[in-house]
C-alpha cells in the first residue's frame, strides 16, 4: 500500500498502520483481547479451515468499544468537560457511552426510536442521555450536529473518522497475531460491514501484518454500498427498498476514510439476504453455542450461504456483535 500521500477525496488524513498500533496501546488496559478460535464444525462444513474472531465478547458486546475509547481518550480536559455526541442504532452508542463513563464525561446519543430495546436500555444504563428520532423522516446527522453545536460537544462519528478506524483496526492486529500463533496463514478475513470502519481498520492492520490476506466486506442486500462502491471505483449509495433485520449494518454507503483504505487494500465484498442472516443467528445458537446479533452474523451468513466459497481456504469470520433482543432471537430461531 502507498501511504506517501494519505489523503481522501475530502482531504481527510488516513490512519497508518502505526496509528492502529498506537490505538492498541491506548485501549489495552480497558478493552477485551477477544479470542480467535478454530471451528472444526465450520471447517468440516465448508471444506476449509475456519476461525472465529469473537467480538461478541468485547466490552459492551461489540467491537465498537475499541474505536470509541481510542477517540475519546485523546480528548483534552476542556473537551471532556463539554462531552460528546454520537448517533447510532445501538452498538456505537454503547461503545461511546461506555468509553465516556470510564473517562468521566457526559455523552448524548441520538438513537432511532425503533432501535433494539436491549441496545437502548444498555446505552441508558451506561449513563448516556438518549435522544430518539424517526429514522425514516428525520436526519440523525442533522440532529446530532445541532446538539453538538448547542453543547459545544465533540461529535463522534460511527465509522468515518481517523481515530475510530484506527481503534477498530486493533481487532485486525489480534487476528493476525493469533492466527500466526496457531500456525494459520489466512487467505481471507470476512467482516460485517456497514460504513466500513471495522472492515477498513482490519484491512489496514493486515496490510502490514498479513499482506497476503484479503479482507472481504459482508453487507446486507440492499445496503451493499461498500461493494457497489468498490466495483465502481467511487463512493456510491445503495438504494434499499426496506429496512434490514441487521440494524447495525444499514449505512447506505461507505465512509470517506474507510472507502479510501478499502480501495487501497483491494478489499472485496459480498452481500447476504436477511433470510441468510437469520439462519446464521440460529446456526450460531444451535450449533456453535454463540449468541450473535443479525448484523454481527453477516460473515457467518456469507459462509453458510456460500456467498463466499471457503473450500480449500483458511479464513477468519469476525462475529462483530451479540446485542440482540429476545424477540429478534426468537424470530431467527423460527426461520
CA distance 168 to 99: 14
pLDDT band at 248 (very low <50, low <70, confident <90, very high): very high
CA distance 235 to 238: 10
Q: Which of 334, 224, 200, 327 is nearest to 275 (CA)?
A: 334
What does R_g of the chain's alpha carbons equal in angstroms? Answer: 18
Model pTM score: 0.94
Instruction: Report whether pLDDT(306) > 70.
Output: yes
- What is the domain partition of the chain in residue ranges? 17-62+163-333, 65-159
CA distance 15 to 260: 11
CA distance 145 to 68: 18
Instruction: Find the mean pLDDT for residues 324-331.
Output: 96
pLDDT band at 270 (very low <50, low <70, confident <90, very high): very high
Q: Which of 316, 223, 319, 205 is nearest to 265 (CA)?
A: 205
CA distance 235 to 260: 9
CA distance 63 to 189: 15
CA dihedral 303, 307, 311, 312 (to 10 degrees): -100
Instruction: Report whether pLDDT(100) > 50.
Output: yes
pLDDT tens across 224-236, in order? 999 999 999 999 9
- Looking at CATH, the fold of the domain delimited by 17-62+163-333 is given as Rossmann fold (3.40.50)
Q: List the grid coordinates of 162.
A: 481517523
- Is residue 177 within 8 A of residue 206, CB to CB? The reply is no
- Is residue 164 within 8 A of residue 71, CB to CB? The reply is yes
- Residue 11: per-residue pLDDT: 61
Instruction: Report whether pLDDT(5) > 60.
Output: no
Q: Which of 254, 141, 244 is nearest to 194 (CA)?
A: 254
- Is residue 198 within 8 A of residue 211, CB to CB? The reply is no
Exposure of 252 in the CB half-sphere (CA atoms within 13 A): 9
The helix or strand, by DSSP H or E, that contains position 229, with its residue range, turns out to be helix 225-232
Q: Would the CATH topology of 17-62+163-333 be identical to that of 65-159?
A: yes
- Residue 207: per-residue pLDDT: 97
- Residue 117: per-residue pLDDT: 87
- Is residue 197 within 8 A of residue 67, CB to CB? The reply is yes
CA distance 109 to 143: 10
Instruction: Report whether pLDDT(330) > 50.
Output: yes
Q: What percent of the chain has pLDDT over 70?
A: 97
pLDDT band at 12 (very low <50, low <70, confident <90, very high): confident
Instruction: Find the mean pLDDT for residues 64-86.
Output: 97
Q: Which of 213, 190, 194 is nearest to 308 (CA)?
A: 190
Computed over every residue of the chain, the mean pLDDT equals: 94
Please give the DSSP secondary-structure letter assigned to residue 242. S
CA-CA-CA-CA torsion sign (203, 204, 206, 211): positive
- Is residue 164 within 8 A of residue 197, CB to CB? The reply is yes
Instruction: Find the mean pLDDT for residues 45-68.
Output: 98
CA distance 168 to 102: 18
Instruction: Find the mean pLDDT for residues 146-173.
Output: 96
CA distance 301 to 89: 21
Please give the DSSP secondary-structure letter assigned to residue 113. T
- Looking at CATH, the fold of the domain delimited by 65-159 is given as Rossmann fold (3.40.50)
CA distance 142 to 135: 12
Amino acid at each position: 500500500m502507498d501511504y506517501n500521500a494519505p489523503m481522501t477525496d475530502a482531504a481527510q488524513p488516513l490512519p497508518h498502520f502505526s496509528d492502529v498500533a498506537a490505538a492498541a496501546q491506548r485501549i489495552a488496559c480497558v478493552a477485551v483481547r477477544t479470542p480467535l478460535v478454530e471451528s472444526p464444525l465450520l471447517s468440516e462444513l465448508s471444506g476449509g479451515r475456519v476461525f472465529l474472531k469473537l467480538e461478541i465478547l468485547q466490552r459492551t458486546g461489540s467491537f465498537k468499544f475499541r474505536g470509541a475509547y481510542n477517540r475519546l481518550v485523546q480528548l483534552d480536559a476542556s473537551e471532556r468537560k463539554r462531552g460528546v455526541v454520537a448517533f447510532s442504532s445501538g452498538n456505537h452508542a454503547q461503545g461511546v457511552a461506555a468509553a465516556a463513563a470510564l473517562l468521566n464525561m457526559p455523552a448524548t446519543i441520538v438513537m432511532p426510536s425503533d432501535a433494539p430495546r436491549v441496545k437502548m436500555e444498555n446505552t441508558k444504563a451506561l449513563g448516556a442521555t438518549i435522544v430518539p428520532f424517526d429514522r425514516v423522516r428525520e436526519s440523525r446527522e442533522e440532529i446530532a450536529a445541532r446538539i453538538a453545536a448547542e453543547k459545544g460537544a465533540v461529535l463522534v462519528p460511527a465509522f468515518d473518522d481517523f481515530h475510530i478506524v484506527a481503534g477498530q483496526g486493533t481487532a485486525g492486529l489480534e487476528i493476525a497475531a493469533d492466527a500466526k500463533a496457531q500456525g494459520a496463514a489466512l487467505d481471507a478475513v470476512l467482516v460485517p460491514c456497514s460504513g466500513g470502519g471495522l472492515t477498513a481498520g482490519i484491512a489496514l492492520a493486515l496490510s502490514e501484518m498479513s499482506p497476503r490476506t484479503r479482507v472481504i466486506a459482508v453487507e446486507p442486500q440492499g445496503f451493499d454500498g461498500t461493494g457497489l462502491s468498490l466495483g465502481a471505483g467511487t463512493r456510491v449509495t445503495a438504494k434499499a427498498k426496506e429496512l434490514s433485520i441487521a440494524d447495525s449494518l444499514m449505512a447506505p454507503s461507505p465512509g470517506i476514510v474507510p472507502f479510501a483504505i478499502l480501495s487501497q487494500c483491494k478489499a472485496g465484498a459480498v452481500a447476504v439476504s436477511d433470510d441468510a442472516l437469520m439462519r446464521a443467528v440460529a446456526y450460531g445458537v444451535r450449533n456453535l453455542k454463540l449468541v450473535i446479533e443479525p448484523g454481527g452474523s453477516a460473515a457467518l451468513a456469507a459462509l453458510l450461504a456460500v456467498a463466499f466459497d471457503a473450500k480449500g481456504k483458511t479464513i477468519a469470520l469476525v462475529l462483530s456483535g451479540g446485542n440482540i433482543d429476545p424477540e429478534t432471537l426468537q424470530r431467527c430461531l423460527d426461520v
